[in-house]
Amino acid sequence: MILHVDMDAFYASVEERDRPELKGKPVIVGGTPGQRGVVAAANYEARKFGVHSAMPSSTAYRLCPQAIVLPCRMDHYAQVSHQIRDIFHRYTPLVEPLSLDEAFLDVTGSEALFGRSESIGHQVKDAIRQEISLIASVGVAPNKFLAKIASDLNKPDGFTVVSPLAIQEFLDPLPVERLWGVGRQTSKVFHGLGVRAIGQLRQLTPTLLKSHFGGHGEHLWELAHGIDPRPVVPDREAKSISHETTFAQDIDDQETLRAWLLELTEQVARRLRRHDLRGQTVEIKVRFADFRTITRSRKLSEATSGTSELWEAVNELLNTRVPGDRLPVRLLGMGVSDIDRSGVTQGQLFDQEDRGKQGKLDEVGDMLRERFGSQALRRGSALEHKARHLPKPNQ
């Protein structure tokens, strides 16, 4: 059985925990009223006014002018995330982080030690509450897709179990928009076919779905039947390390996309360094509003975990390999593959000094941001492109 653990309004919840006087007040993390930027996270009080992540900060402030707007302390959130993952690893070594605030856990082999998967889910949830003073929503299910849906159903503070014997009973009443990959355009096609619930989609044939959605139609048919064979893959065993984010609203501004890619790159770089890994092939993934998805990659001269080297490649891919006329964008991702686990860097003779400096900058930068906040030190590329530290939107 698989657990999906998703922290509720993670960044905003950390701020509320650290500053109890914020409780009960609308809180927005990221962006500055009157300046360019986007919302990194919003607590549930702010969401009542229509504020959501990835929204332009000017729009959020207009909707909720009484909101308390705080800078994004990304490295502090990363430290808290590390504490949460320490709890996960008490129960299973099979932990696959998706971002700082969510992860899959395969607890199948842990039931002999800790009890049934449902009990393990409660233990994880209780430990996070008692030791870190934060709230998580947990989904327990036979596979990753079902666990992800389950964790999202009763937020905040949710706990949902999907029995292997009741998968269709669980899925059928849900709207088709709950399926991965069903966005605004896809849902319009389904509505035109008279399909609004997953149970109705399940009655369609794979051939019909393929005629409307191409190869993606077969995947939707499998999801509607609760089929998802993907295993939980820990970082150290992964063939690639990546982060991606689906926006609450499509984004058609190139500089906002660049800002998101910078944050995704920094998250991936931190994960690589945390596990003493390096990657040689850099890839970006872009899904447009019409659901067309493209990937673009570049192989570096050698494997690296340096943020600057990864960002240089990512920025070049965005500038030269992604057609600007296909905007707006609904999903953005960044990852590295060709993972090197040796822990040994074979730098070229003349770039060793520069690599050493960049490595020290990463180390010192992490320390400074942890102590003084994420805006204390910013990369030149972030200043040039007005990029801000941004999280994934489903907080």
Q: Would you tell me the crossing angle of helices 215-224 and 206-213 to the nearest 10 degrees?
A: 130
Phi, psi of 308 (to 5 degrees): -65, -45
Torsion over CA: 340, 343, 347, 352 (sign) = positive
Torsion over CA: 16, 20, 23, 28 (sign) = negative
Which residue, 55, 56, 57, 126, is CA-closest to 87?
126
Q: 296-304 — which CB contacts under 8 Å span 24+ positions?
A: 296/321, 296/322, 299/338, 301/348, 302/345, 302/346, 302/347, 302/348, 303/278, 303/279, 303/338, 303/339, 303/340, 303/345, 304/278, 304/279, 304/280, 304/345, 304/355
Residue entry with tokens 């082999």: 109
Q: Which residue numbers are catalytic? A: 102
